[in-house]
Structure formats: structure tokens, C-alpha cells
Amino acid sequence: MMAQLAPEGAVILDILTQGKEMREGVPIADRTLMRRPEKYAAPIGLDDEGNPFPVPPRRDIEEKP
């Protein structure tokens, strides 16, 4: 038995499916290649040296009078 999507979910699924079909419809020769793959080798939140980006203070916690 398959679960039914809510109407909003069905619309979102349709949009995502159309986007996937459009992406897959672009010939490989016309796709943009990643020029510097090493730039994306580090996890998100780390700079090129592997240091975490500074986290700004949270105003809702640290600036209470």
C-alpha cells in the first residue's frame, strides 16, 4: 500500500521531478564542470586551512541585560 501525498507535497514532488528531468536533459558536453574540486574537499564550515569559521554570538542568548 502506497502512502498518499498531501496536495502541497504532490506539487513539490512535481516541481522537483521536472527539475531533475531538465538537468538530465542537458547534454554532457554542455554541462559546467567543476574547475577546482579541491575547493570543495573540506567539510562545510571549514576554511582552506581546515579551521572552523568563527561563529558570531547569538543575540538571543548572549545579549540579555
**Per-domain boundaries in the chain:** 12-53
pTM: 0.45
Amino acid 63: pLDDT: 53
Q: In which band, very low, low, confident or very high, does the pLDDT at 61 lie, cut at 50, 70 and 90?
A: low
Dihedral, CA of residue 41, residue 39, residue 25 and residue 13, to nearest 10? 60
Question: What would you report as the CA-atom Rg of the chain, rounded to the nearest whole angstrom?
Answer: 21
Amino acid 19: pLDDT: 96
Give the pLDDT confidence of 9-58 residue by residue, as tens digits. 999 999 999 999 999 999 988 887 778 877 777 667 877 788 888 877 76
* Mean pLDDT along residues 56-62: 66
Grid coordinates given for 53: 569559521
